[in-house]
Structure 1
Amino acid sequence: MPQFLVIGAGILGLSTALALQDKGLSVTLVDDAPDQPPASWGNAGHIAVEQVEPLASPATLRGVPGRLLASDDALSLPLRDLRHWLPFGIRLALAARPKTFRAGSVALKGLVTHSMPAWQRLVSGLGQPDLLRQDGHFVLWDTPQSAAAGLARWQASDTGTTDFHPIDREETAQLRALLGRDPAGGIRFRGSGQIASHDRLFQAMREKLLGRDGQIVTGKAIALPVTDGRAAVRLADGTLLASDGIIVTAGVASRPLMESLGHRVPMIAERGYHLHAPPGEWPADLPPLVFEDRSLIVTRFADYLRCSSFVEFSHPDSPADPQKWERLRRRVQALGLPFPLPAAEWVGSRPTLPDYLPAIGRSDRAGNLFYAFGHQHLGLTLGPLTGELIAAQATDQRPALDLSPFDLDRFG
């Protein structure tokens, strides 16, 4: 039976490992801290199938100067990390040119369109369909002016397989009970979703992997030495792991591994901050709320509540900025949300490439080496689908989608 090594135990790694097992293969997952929550544990839990346009866009570029001049915006470019984000920003600007943006939109839409069915297959295979909620989400605004502008933006946007409507009387009453006032404006999306619990999801995926004779090896992958055209995995303790196939799904840690083989990987740590608390009085049946003027999303999970914000272009090893958690608390208080404070703090790194497309494909440096990383804000959304696609390619089957737009060679 062919043996595969999957590096990284986040949503991409676990999804890929399970997809390989579905094909009857033997799988070992390698992670430096498999018992610790991965970066994909810290997101808002939103299955964002409405986000079919890359963030590397002309509209994003036009908005950057005003956001940087704003006193309390969610976008952050720390001067200490200038050498990391400046080259990335130049590449982002090039990727946002209209022709490149249009091509990227076609490629990303192909992925996002197929992501919800992949999620349905995943939770069904886990025997826990209730892990996926398909209740949509709300987008709310603070003022009538921002509501009118926000609605116009969404009406002009491609929202993929989702649709939306202005909040109706019943939805307004539901939100009034939570906020203590009527929203100035809002829309309700249908077709998007969320996971019920990060903890339950990752536990169920690990148990499924181990229950089918998969293995989890604790160790930090530091190199991919190639001998006779085939790669192996070298761990920090000197252990060398050989395998029929190796798939790199290590998030931001994928960059040094792939660059050691000569690949160009202009990836940055796009860090996000969240606060995590018991659910308190937050209604259990309320889908995620996006407060667009505040760049804030609040999600009620089965057993906890989480609010997330901030886009910080940085380095994964840079110290966290405690002021961001304080600003997040002030935003929660200003909105009058029944969110228990002070709440637990978390920061994590989204692996982001400058064109806001993931890297999914086969390396031309070693015949047994594959990769799947760089999913930016859509790691959770695209995780199960990406696992299926890369597992098909790694077993010489034809993937359901054309993977050429996601090849690393697009960066030279």
Structure 2
Amino acid sequence: MQREMNVIGGGVVGLASALALARAGFAVTVIDDDPGRQAASWGNAGHIAIEQVAPLASWATVRSLPRRRFAAGGAVGLPPAAWRRWLPFGLRLLGAARPARFAVGKAALGGLLAEAMPAWQRLGETLGQPGLLRIDGHIVAWSRPAAAAAGWRSWMAADIGTAAFRDTSRAERAAFPGGPLADAIRFTNTAQIADLGRLDRALRAALAAAGGVFRAGAAGLEMVDGAARVRLDGSLLAEGPVLVAGGARSGTLLAPLGRRVPIIAERGYHLRTSDHDWPADLPPMVFEDRSMIVTRYADCVQVASFVEFAAIDTPADPAKWERLEAHVAALGLPLRGPFTRWIGARPTLPDYLPAIGRSARAPNLLYAFGHQHLGLTLAALTGEIVAALAADAPPVVDLAPFSIERFGSRTKQ
């Protein structure tokens, strides 16, 4: 008899996991309540960021916070009205930033990122979409000499895992769009998803071909006789295994099972325009001294920035889009409005490691969420790991550092 799996979440992690499960022989149902594709999966920078080995829960992040606040001209938003959300999260981040814990986290995250690109290559080869995965690096640039000198020192000292970069020539920098740059480096073996909409359609088509089905609606979980059960549209679904891949809403999903998850909505903002003169062959370009990344997609150019810690449904702050438009103008980028504005919530845990594993409280429940800025990067690998877990096979990496049990707290019953 074919095994079943209900997957809650239709973002890139949920779809990649559902596809891996279906190809492993499971009868998969994906439950998704995001018909408008507003999840962070579909508004990200398209960057396969294998170079980001160091978790953002670090003393370097803590020390830099005062100058990186939005009010000081930086990209970190801490809305005063949301302090009950970000203050407890920040205190946990301080604990995760201690040198010993940071070292453990970096080793764990580095192990995932070392496998991320091979996993994407394996997945990409099966989707029948040539050119969807572009392994031609990305650019990190600085508009001011002091920022360039500091950036160079930082990247030279950084652990970037399997990634590699080189200097750029004056001629290369002169050919980049916009005004003059102080300096830039080019990563040579990172990658980009050429079109997020095309990726979404390809994953869904491959899943349907593998027998997967989709159901729309907001799912909930409850514990019935020691097992997690899915409630959809007021009815309990048939008992069976469940994968929670609900992004920033995963904490709310797990709360009825007695698990408090310290996840926060780390909200990002972006602008898109189809009126531009951005080179078609240019990979993602990071303007590091402005905490901004520009990506050319098939039908538009996207400018993305900001980390705003708040509740997932907090109204957007227009000042952040206005700041992005000011950066575009100041850099002289060949992008013209009117811009389409977007906001999405990255699912972030305070140690900046994902949660991937099997529930100790409900053995029929698997989880894969909390990938923060690395959801796209780690999606293909996460799918392979989830499929191995569901089949009781050993995953490619040690999952102990990613267990949800590391947070240790449960809700009262």
TM-score interval, normalised by the smaller of the two chains: over 0.9
- Counterpart residue identity of residue 94, structure 2: A
How far is the alpha carbon of 1:174 from its aligned partner? 2.1
Does the 8 Å contact 1:279/1:300 carry over to 2? no
**CA distance in 2 between partners of 1:82 and 1:188 (Å):** 38
SS at match of 1:63: helix
Task: Name the counterpart of 2:195.
Answer: 197
State the alpha-carbon separation in 2 of the partners of residues 346 and 35 from structure 1. Answer: 12
Distance of 1:326 and 1:308 partners within structure 2: 12
Could you say what secondary structure the match of 1:332 adopts?
A: helix
> 1:36: Cα distance to partner?
3.3
Distance in 2 between the 1:174 and 1:294 partners? Answer: 20
Deviation at 1:392, TM superposition (A): 0.6
Q: Using the alignment, how far apart are the partners of 1:180 and 1:82 within structure 2?
A: 38
Please report how far the alpha carbon of residue 34 of structure 1 lies from its aligned counterpart in structure 2 after TM superposition.
Answer: 4.0
Cα shift readout 1:161-186 (whole Å, capped 9, x = no counterpart): 111111124422321xx2243x1011
Q: Distance in 2 between matches of 1:129 and 1:160?
A: 27
**Which of 383, 389, 396 is matched with 1:387 structurally?**
383
Q: Is the 8 A contact 1:275 1:345 kept in 2?
A: yes
> Aligned to 1:146, what secondary structure does the other structure show?
helix
Write out per-residue CA displacement over residues 226-276 of structure 1, whole angstroms, 9 at most, x where no aligned residue: 2232221012x2021124310000001110111221223101000000001
Q: Could you say which residue in structure 2 is the equivalent of 1:179? A: 178
168 and 46 in structure 1: CA distance in 2 versus 1, 3 angstrom threshold: same
> Where do 1:309-388 residues align within 5 Å?
309-388=305-384
The amino acid of 1:327's aligned partner reads: R
Counterpart residue type for residue 229 of structure 1: G
Summarize deviations over 1:305-357 as a string: whole Å, max 9, x none.
10001110111011000111111101100000011223100000000000000
2:275 touches 2:337 (CA, 8 Å); kept in 1?
no
Q: Does 1:218 align with 2:220?
A: no
CA contact (8 A) 2:9 2:30 kept: yes
User: Could you tell me whether the CA contact under 8 Å between 2:138 and 2:191 is conserved in 1?
Assistant: yes
Corresponding position of 1:60: 61
State the SS of the aligned residue for 1:269.
strand
Cα 1:103/1:242, change in 2 over 3 Å: same
Distance in 2 (alpha carbons) for counterparts of 1:11 and 1:380:
6
Tell me the distance in 2 between the aligned counterparts of 1:289 and 1:199.
20
Deviation at 1:69, TM superposition (A): 8.0
Report how many residues are paired: 407
The verdict on how the C-alpha distance between 1:186 and 1:255 changes in structure 2, with shifts beyond 3 A counting, is same
Of the structure 1 ranges 103-112 and 119-128, higher mean CA displacement relative to structure 2 is found in 119-128
Counterparts of 2:179 and 2:158, CA distance in 1:
31
Greater mean deviation of Cα atoms: 270-279 or 95-104: 270-279
- In the alignment, is residue 240 of structure 1 matched against residue 240 of structure 2? no
Q: CA separation of 1:117/1:243 partners in 2, compared to 1, >3 Å: closer, same or farther?
A: farther
Match of 2:24 in 1: 23
Task: Structure 1: state its 5+ residue gaps.
Answer: none
What's 2:113 paired with?
112
The aligned amino acid for 2:139 is: F
Q: Distance in 2 between matches of 1:209 and 1:219?
A: 19
Query: Secondary structure, in 3 states, of the residue corresponding to 2:279?
Result: coil
Residue 363 to residue 110, structure 1, CA distance change in 2 (3 Å):
same
Structure 2: runs of 5+ lacking an equivalent: 409-413
Give the match for residue 91 of structure 1. Answer: 92
- Counterpart check, 1:251 vs 2:247: yes
1:32 aligns to what? 33
Q: TM-score when scaled to structure 2?
A: 0.96
Instruction: Map 1:1-20 onto structure 2 (within 5 A).
Output: 1-20=2-21
